Structure 1
C-alpha cells in the first residue's frame, strides 16, 4: 500500500512537472490571486509612492530641520568621527558609506546634498567644512567627489549633541543591518536658520533662512510668554524677517512679513544692492555688491550685458565682473546718467530683483516616531514644535543619565561594602578555584538578602585592580559615590517638576540656558550678523522707456517680402541691399524714441519703437520675428509716427470730429475707411491692434496718411479709376469694414489709391502688357463714392501700381 501511495504521489508530481514543463501554470497558483479594479491598484500604489517621496526625500522635519539625505550624511560623518577638529576626509568615502549603509539612492544626489551643505552662499550656517572646489555662486559645479574632502563645521556638533546617549528614536536601516536616528537631537533651530527647499508629490516647501540670534531670541521670547501672538514674534530683537546668506534688500512692509509668518505662505520681494562706488570723468561707477538669494551671478551679469549690447540700457557704457570671494560687479555709467533710474531698470528687467515664495510646509511628529505628517505651519507653531522637541530630548538625556548613575551607584555601593572587609575578600579569592568559585564564596559571605552583594557587584569587585585598594583610591571612590548620589537627587527633582510651568520648571530653564549659550557661542561673531536688510518700501523711481533709448535719427526700411532693418542714414533707398527678387515697400524716417507703425493686409497694425527694429547693413530680419502674424498675412504699408514727420495726429481740442492728420485705408473689395493714429503711438504687443475689419477673401491694399486732403484717386485691376471727396469716406473711432469706395465687378479688385490735395498729383501704373501709364488726378472730375469710375483704356488690365522712387522724407531734420 505504501508503495502504491508513493507511486500515486509520484504520478501526481509527475503530472504537475509535466504541466510545468509544457508552460501550463499550476491551478493552485490562481487561488492566491485577487481581482481588483486597475483604478484602485494604481491609486494604492501612487499613494504609497507619494507618501514615500513626502516623508523620505523632499520635506524637512520640523524638529531638526533636515531632509533624510542630509541627516544621513551628518550621522555617517558622526560615526566616522569627522568633527571640526578631525582631518579632512575624501568626500567619496563619506558618500560611499552613506549610500551603502543608509541611503540606497544614486551617489550623485548624495554628493549634491553634501556640496550644498558646505556652500556659504546656499546655507546661512553651513554644516560641512569643505576642502577643494565646492562650486560657486556663478553656477560652477563642484569637483568630482574623489578630489574633494570634507569634515563637519563646529555648528554641526550642536546638531549631533546627545546622539551617543540615544536621546532620540532609532529605526532600522533600509537593509535591516544597522540602525539610524529618526531625527537628530539638534540644539540648533536648523529649519529656520538654514531654510529648506523641496518638491514632493502634490506639495512643496520653500523655507527662507533666518538669523540664528534672532531665531533664538524668538524662542526665548516664546518661553517667557507662551501666549504671545504671532505678530509679536516678528518685532524687536526677535525675528525681523528672513536673513539670506547672499544679503540683499527685503522690500516688504512689517505688516506683509507678519502676515507671511502667521499664514506660512506669501511672497518676499528681494533686491540686490547697488551703489555709486566712485566717480570719474567718464562717468560714475555703479557697483553691485549683493545679489538676491538663489540668483546665478554669471547669468545675471550676462543678462545685463545683453541689455547693454542690445542698446536697451544705453546709460551703461561697460559691465565688469570683478568678483572674488565678495561680489563686485561694476557698471560704468555714461556721463550725467541717473544711477537711480539705472537701478530701477535693472530691478525690472534683470534677476537683480526676484520674488521668494515662502511655503512653511514640513513634517510634524505623529504617534509613529518613524513617520511624519506634512503640514503648513505658522512661525509660532514651528517654534513650539522645536521647543517641545528640545524638552523631550532633554528629558530623555536626564533619564538616561539617571539610569547610568543608578547603575554606577549600585557598583560603588558594593565597593563601599567590602572596604572594611578587604582582608577577608582577598583571603576568599586566594583560596578559590577560579572566578566563578570566588564569586560564589563572596556572595555567600555577603548575601544579597541581608543587604550584601549581588552578582553584578561581585563581578565588579573581582575585576577591580589591586591599586584601587589603596586608601587614597578608596577615598576617591567614596567621594564619587557621594557626588553621584547628589546628582541623582538633582535629576529626580528635575524630572519630577511640572513641565507646563515655563517660569519655574527646571527642565525649561535648562532649555533656556542652552539657547542662550548657543547665541553666545555662535551668534556674536561677524559672520552671524544680519546680512539681509529690511527696507521700508518707498515710492518706486519712475522712468520711461525713452530714458533708456539714445535719441538719434534713423531710417527704417521694409520690403515687400517682409524684411525690415534700421540704419542711421539711408541716402539712396534704391541702393540698399535686398534679397533676390525682393522690392522696397517703404522707407520711413524718425527718431529712435518714436513709434513706427506697420499695417498688415488683414487689418492689424503692429507698432514698435524704432529702437527695437534690428540694426543691420545686410538684408535685415523677417518682421515675423518681432510680431505674431497669421498665415498669409503681410505688410502693405509702414508709417512713421514721429511728430516731425507725420504732423499732428492728436484730436483737435476745439472739438473737431477727427484729427487734422489721420489715415485712410482701402481693401481689395472696394471698401474704404478713415481712422485716427493716436491709439497707435504706444508700442503694441506681438499680436498688434486691429484698425479695420476685412471680409473673407479680401485684404487691405494700402494705408496712407491724410493731411487736409480733398480727394482720393482709386484704381482697379479692370483699368477703371475714380476720384471722390475724402469727406464722403466715414471716419471710424474703432475697427470696422468702412463704406463702399468704388463699385467693382465680380472679377475686379481694387489695386490702390492716392490722396490728393487738389493739385495735379500723378499715379503711375503698369498694364498687363508691361506698359507704364501715368494717371493725373486733375484729368478726371470728382464724383461721389460708390460709382464704377471711368474706363482708363479699352483693352487690357492694370497689373500693378508703381509709386515714384522711394526717398526719405524731405522734412527730416535734426
Structure 2
C-alpha cells in the first residue's frame, strides 16, 4: 500500500518523518487561497471592462474565431469548445449559460453576443442546446476589443501555458455600468444595474472637463438605471443620489401600465413593461394564484396577450373599481413592483475588491482608456519607426536597383555585402531580400517618399500626443463622444427604456381595504373577551355557544372591510381588522392575543368605526368628554390612550354623541339631564364632571335630541319617551347630583337602548 502524499509544505521532514502542521493555520491558508481565487477569477467584474473572466474569454475566443459583427454565425457548441479548450477549463454548460446571457436582450442592456436560434425568453424558458444555436459578436463586443492587437493591454499565459489571453480588454465601451453585473464570492457579492450608455458617456465627458465634479452633478447626468425590460423607477431622488454616492442602495421598479377603455364604461389595464429579472410566466401565475385565493378582490381576471412585446391584460372585478387603487394592491402583493439592490463591488485595477461610487467607477474607466490610448500610440510609433526604416532601405534599393540585383545574384553573402556597401541595417536588408520580383514595378521613388512624408507627419503627431496630457484627454473624449453618437437617445438601442415617477399618494388604509373582499359579517364579543366573526348578518343569536362560564357581551353587524374599535376599562382604544377574526363554528379568539391590553383591564364595548361621528367617553366616577371618532383610531397593537383614569376609577361607558342633550343616571338611581354644549371636546384627558355622586358611580349615559325627547326601555320591552318639558325636574347643569329617576324607569338603572 503506497504512502499517502503530503500536502504542499506539510512534509516530509529531513529524516523522512511527517511534519506536524497547525490545523487552524492550514485551513485558514487554504480557505484564503480559495476565497481569493473566487473573488479574482470568478465572481467580481473588473471595473475597467466590466467583465468577469468567463465573459472576457468568451468574447476574446469569438474574436479569435473571426466571428465579427459583419461576418457569419458559427455553432455555439464550437464557441464553447474553443473557450473551454483554450482559455476556460470549466464545465461546458457553465460557459454556455454565460454566453446565452450575453445574447439575451431582456437580460443584458447592450448584448455582446448576436444569437441566432432559441436563446430563451422573458417568460423564463431556457435556451436550446448549444448544438442548435449559433452566435457572433455584436458591435458592442467589437468596441470592447478595439485595439487589442496594438499592445493596448497586457496578456498572460493561458491555464495550460500553450497560449496567451488578455488580462483585461481595452474597453472602449463603458460596459460595467452599461450592462451591469451580478455575482457572489466568498464573503462578498456584487449586483450592478444596467444604465443608459449615452448618459454614462455624457457623465464621463463632464468628468474629463471637470475632474473634481461632485456626486450630485454626476447624478443629474446619470439619473438612474436603465433596465432592458423598461419599467418605472419610483424611488425618491434622494435615495438614488445616496446609492450612487456610496455605491450601495436599492431601487423600486414598477411595471408600466395603461388603461384601455372599453364599451359601456368598462376598461382593462394593460401592462407593457415588467420589472427587471422578473419572469413573465411566473408573474402571471403569481397573480392568478392570488385571484384564486381571493386576496385580490379588485381583480377579476388576468390573461397574457404577449407576442414579441409584453402585453399582460388585467380585468377589474367591476367597472366601478378605481384602476389606480387596483394597481396599488397589485404592486403591494406581486412582483409587478420589485426592488433591485445595488452593490457596486468590483475589482480595482484587476486586483483589489472595492465598493465604488458612481464617480470613482467612471474615473477608473477613463484612466484605463487613457492608458490604452498611450499604449496604442507607442505601439503605432514603433510600427511607424519600423516602416520608415524599411522605406529608407527601399529608397536605397531603388536608387541602386541594378547593383542590388547583381549582389543578390553573384555574392555568396548578399546580406553582409549590402550592409557593408550601402550602410543598411539588418531590418532594411531583410526587407529588400524578402521583396518579391513583382513588387519591383511598384518600387517608385515618388510613392516611397510620399509614404515616408506621411508617416513622418503621423509620427510627429503621435509623439506630441504621447507627451501632452491635455491632448490625450481630448482624444479620449473624442472616442467617448463617438460611442455616445453611436448609441444616442435617437437610436433604437440607445433610447432610454426605464422611466422615473413618484409613487401615487394613495392612503395605505385604502389599499388595505381594497385587498379585502367586502362581505357582511356579525361580530360576537363575549364577557371574557373572546371575539369572532360569523358570515352574514345574523338576527337570531340564541344558537350561539360560549366556553363554560362565559356568555354574550355584545353582538353587532359589520362588513369585512370595516374597522372595529375596542374600548377598554383603562380608557384605551384599539383598532381591529374584522377580516382576520376567526369564524365558522369556533368560539373565537381572545382579544388579548390581538392587542397589547393590560392584564387588569377588560373590554368595555366594541363597535364599527364611523369617522364622521363623535363619541362620549365616561369614567365610573362620572368624568367624561367628547372626542371625534377619527381621533381614537390606533395603528399599533398598543392602542391609543384617550380617557385618563386613575385606580380605582376606570373607563365605564362609550356612546355615540348624536343629540343636543345628555342624560346620565347613577347606581344611586339619580338622573340628570343637561345640554350637550356643556361637555367639552378633547382628544385626550380626564374630562369634566358630568354628574356628582356622594355614594355610588355612573350607571349609564345617553345623548338625545331635545325635540324628540328622552327614551328608555323597561324590563317588559316597552319604550317610554319623556319630552324636555316632562323632564324639567331632572334638567340642570352638568356636575349636579340630579334627582331620583322618574317612576317606571328600569331597576337596572340603564336606558336600555345601546348608544352604538
In the superposition, the TM-score normalised over structure 1's length comes to 0.67
How far apart, in 1, do the equivalents of 2:425 and 2:168 lie? 39
From 414, 417, 429, the counterpart of 1:441 = 414
1:491 aligns with 2:462: yes
From 188, 192, 216, the counterpart of 1:203 = 188
Q: Which residue of 2 aligns with 1:298?
A: 281
Asked whether the 8 Å contact 2:535–2:583 carries over to 1, the reply is yes
**Shift in Å at residue 151 of structure 1?**
1.4
Map 1:259-658; keep pairs closer than 5 Å.
259-281=242-264, 283-333=266-316, 334-365=318-349, 371-432=350-411, 437=412, 440-441=413-414, 443-444=416-417, 446-448=418-420, 452-470=423-441, 473=444, 475-495=446-466, 497-499=467-469, 502=470, 505=471, 507-523=472-488, 524-536=490-502, 539-540=505-506, 543-544=509-510, 545-554=512-521, 567-568=535-536, 590-594=558-562, 609-612=577-580, 641-642=607-608, 651-652=617-618
Q: Which residue of 1 aligns with 2:685?
A: none
Distance 1:193 1:412, change over 3 A: same
**Shift in Å at residue 191 of structure 1?**
0.8
**Shift in Å at residue 391 of structure 1?**
0.8
**Shift in Å at residue 541 of structure 1?**
5.1
* Secondary structure at the counterpart of residue 164 of structure 1: coil
Q: Which residue of 2 aligns with 1:4?
A: none
Q: Which residue of 1 aligns with 2:84?
A: 99
**Shift in Å at residue 179 of structure 1?**
1.5
| CA offset digits 1:608-662 (Å, max 9, x no partner) | 644456998xx999999xx999xxxxxxx9x985579xx99983499957999xx
Asked whether the 8 Å contact 1:230–1:261 carries over to 2, the reply is yes
How far apart, in 2, do the equivalents of 1:119 and 1:451 lie? 62
How far apart, in 2, do the equivalents of 1:339 and 1:567 lie? 29
Distance 1:353 1:463, change over 3 A: same
* Secondary structure at the counterpart of residue 617 of structure 2: coil
Distance 1:98 1:332, change over 3 A: same
**Shift in Å at residue 61 of structure 1?**
0.7
Asked whether the 8 Å contact 2:615–2:654 carries over to 1, the reply is no
Distance 1:709 1:451, change over 3 A: farther
Distance 1:623 1:281, change over 3 A: farther
From 147, 155, 170, the counterpart of 2:155 = 170
1:137 aligns with 2:102: no
How far apart, in 1, do the equivalents of 2:387 and 2:422 lie? 17
Asked whether the 8 Å contact 1:283–1:332 carries over to 2, the reply is no
CA RMSD of aligned residues (A): 5.2
How far apart, in 2, do the equivalents of 1:18 and 1:376 lie? 50
| CA offset digits 1:158-214 (Å, max 9, x no partner) | 011111223101112222222111111110011111111222222222222111111
After the TM superposition, which of the residue ranges 132-141 and 251-260 deviates more from structure 2?
Answer: 251-260
Asked whether the 8 Å contact 2:109–2:227 carries over to 1, the reply is yes
Q: Which residue of 2 aligns with 1:243?
A: 226
How far apart, in 2, do the equivalents of 1:620 and 1:426 lie? 114
Asked whether the 8 Å contact 1:417–1:452 carries over to 2, the reply is no
Asked whether the 8 Å contact 1:290–1:327 carries over to 2, the reply is yes
Asked whether the 8 Å contact 2:12–2:18 carries over to 1, the reply is no
How far apart, in 1, do the equivalents of 2:192 and 2:322 lie? 37
Distance 1:245 1:643, change over 3 A: closer
* Secondary structure at the counterpart of residue 330 of structure 1: strand
Asked whether the 8 Å contact 2:254–2:338 carries over to 1, the reply is yes
* Secondary structure at the counterpart of residue 50 of structure 2: coil
Asked whether the 8 Å contact 1:565–1:621 carries over to 2, the reply is no
* Secondary structure at the counterpart of residue 286 of structure 1: strand
Distance 1:493 1:479, change over 3 A: same
* Secondary structure at the counterpart of residue 411 of structure 1: helix
Distance 1:160 1:709, change over 3 A: farther
Asked whether the 8 Å contact 1:185–1:393 carries over to 2, the reply is yes
Q: Which residue of 1 aligns with 2:598?
A: none
Q: Which residue of 2 aligns with 1:8?
A: none
How far apart, in 2, do the equivalents of 1:594 and 1:710 lie? 33
Q: Which residue of 2 aligns with 1:634?
A: none
| CA offset digits 1:38-88 (Å, max 9, x no partner) | 222222222212111111111111100111111111111111111212222
1:35 aligns with 2:35: no
Q: Which residue of 1 aligns with 2:693?
A: none
Asked whether the 8 Å contact 1:556–1:567 carries over to 2, the reply is no
**Shift in Å at residue 157 of structure 1?**
0.4
**Shift in Å at residue 122 of structure 1?**
1.6
**Shift in Å at residue 679 of structure 1?**
13
How far apart, in 2, do the equivalents of 1:65 and 1:456 lie? 41
How far apart, in 2, do the equivalents of 1:494 and 1:182 lie? 26
**Shift in Å at residue 379 of structure 1?**
1.7
Asked whether the 8 Å contact 1:341–1:541 carries over to 2, the reply is no
Q: Which residue of 2 aligns with 1:187?
A: 172
Asked whether the 8 Å contact 1:210–1:241 carries over to 2, the reply is yes
- What number of residue pairs does the alignment pair up? 649
Asked whether the 8 Å contact 1:276–1:287 carries over to 2, the reply is yes
Gaps of 5+ in 1: 1-16, 366-370, 579-583, 599-604, 630-636, 661-676, 690-704, 712-726, 731-756, 762-780, 783-810
How far apart, in 2, do the equivalents of 1:410 and 1:262 lie? 53
| CA offset digits 1:425-470 (Å, max 9, x no partner) | 22233335xxxx2xx23532x335x752233322322221222222
Asked whether the 8 Å contact 2:181–2:193 carries over to 1, the reply is yes
How far apart, in 2, do the equivalents of 1:19 and 1:180 lie? 39
